[in-house]
Copies of this chain bind each other. A is one copy, B any other.
Amino acid sequence: MRLVEETLAAIAPADAAAMGEAAALHERLTKPRRSLGALEDLGARLSGIAGRVPPPIPEPVEVAVFAADHGVVAHGVTPWPQEVTAQMVANFLAGGAAINALARQVGAAVTVVDVGVASSLPPAPGLLVRKVRPGTGDLASGPAMRPDEALASVAVGIDVARSLIRAGAGLLVTGDMGIGNTTAAAAVIAAITGASARDVTGRGTGIDDASLARKQSIVAGAAARLSSEPAPLDALAEVGGLEVGALAGFVLAAGAARVPVVVDGVIALAGALIAHGLAPPVVDHMVAGHRSVEPGASVVLAHLGLEPLLDLRLRLGEGTGACLAVPLVQAAARVLGEMATFDAAGVTDKEHRA
C-alpha cells in the first residue's frame, strides 16, 4: 500500500547535531551539570526530533484511542464481556473515562477511532469510524486477520496521525481499547522478540491463576505458528489486533513527520514493536510514558532501549500512562527554551572558576 511505503521511506533518525547542541546548551544553563537527570536526556531527544535547539514546546497534544475487538475472547482470557469495548467507546465519547479526565488535566484532545469494534457504533462527534473488519478472528485457532487487513489497519493509524499533524498537533499520544487485547499484544511481543509466553503474558485487567495459565498457553501456541524472526506484518496478521496495527501506523506517521509520540502501555508497545521492525529509526521519535504492570511492556521497552518516564503501577491502557507523562515532555522542552545561561543571568559558574 502506497501510504505505508511512503511513510516508511520518510523515517530518519533523530538529528545527532541538534542533540549534541542541546547537550551543550544544558551545560550552560543555570543549574549544576546533569542535575535535571532524565529531563535533560528528554530535552536532547526532542531537539533531535525537531532538528533544532531549543525544540518547540510539544503542543497541542492529541490522544488517539484506537478501539477494536478480539476473537480470542471466546477462550475466556478475560472476565470482561466483549460488549464492554463498545460501551467504553461510548464512555470515551461522553468524556467519562480515565483517559478523558487525564487528557483534560494535560490540555489534550481525545479522538476515538473504531478500527475494528465488533458492533456497529452510531456516529458521534469525536468518533472516527475506520473499521477494517468487525473484530479479529480467533488467534488461538488461526490467523487473526488477512495480510491485507493487517496492512489496512496500519494505514488507518498513519492516516489518523497525518490528519492530526496536518491540523497542527505538536505531540501525539497513543491510546487503545479492546477487550482481549493484552492477549494479542503478548502474542505479538512473544513472536517478534522471541521472549517466552510466560515472560510476556500478564493478568491484563485482572484474571485469576487458571485464566492466566490458559492465556499463556494460547499466547505460546499462537506465537509458535510463526517463524523464528517473523516479518512484523506477518506477526500482526497471524496473532495481532486491529488496534495494534493502527498503533504501529500511528507511531510510524509521527516518526515520518518528526512529531514526538508518547507511547503508553503494552498494547501501544506491541504496535511500537511492529513499527520498529518496519523502520528501526522510528524509535528515536518515541517517548515511553509509563512502565505498565503488564510484563510484556517491560520486554518491549528493553528491546527498544526505551526508559519510561513514569512508574505508577498503572495497568489500564487507554493512553492513561502516556497522557500523565505529557507535562514532563513539555517541561523538558521548556528547560531548553526558557532557562537562562550562567552568562546571561550573571551567576558564577563553578566550572569556569580559576
Contacts and interface: CB of A to CB of B under 8 A. Distances in A.
A324 interface: yes
B339 A97 contact: yes
A31 B79 contact: no
B309 A350 contact: no
Contacts of A334: 101-102, 104-105
A189 to B, nearest CB: 20
Number of chain copies forming the complex: 2
Contacts of A95: 338
Interface stretch (A33-41, A65-73, A240-248): A33-41
A32 B345 contact: no
A313 B39 CA distance: 9
A105 B331 contact: yes
A56 to B, nearest CB: 14
A334 B96 CA distance: 11
Residue from A100, A313, A320, A327 whose CB has the most chain B CB atoms within 10 Å: A327
A94 B316 contact: no
Contacts of A314: 35-39
B320 A102 contact: no
Contact of A39 (B30, B100, B312): B312
Contacts of A109: none
A32 B338 contact: no
Contacts of A340: 91, 94, 96-97
A84 B316 contact: no
Interface size range on A against B: 35 or more
Contacts of A98: 29-31, 36, 335, 339
Contact of A33 (B37, B101, B206): B206
A228 interface: no
Contacts of A306: none
Contacts of A106: 327
Interface string A229-273: 000000000000000000000000000000000000000000000
Residue from A106, A205, A335, A338 whose CB has the most chain B CB atoms within 10 Å: A338
A350 B97 CA distance: 16
Interface of A: 29-33, 35-39, 79-81, 83-84, 87-88, 90-91, 94-98, 100-102, 104-106, 205-206, 293, 309-316, 320, 324, 327-328, 330-331, 334-335, 337-340, 344-348, 350, 353
Given A31-B316, A36-B316, 17 more contacts: A30-B88, A32-B316, A36-B98, A37-B293, A37-B315, A38-B312, A39-B312, A79-B353, A88-B347, A91-B340, A96-B344, A97-B345, A101-B338, A104-B334, A105-B334, A312-B328, A324-B331
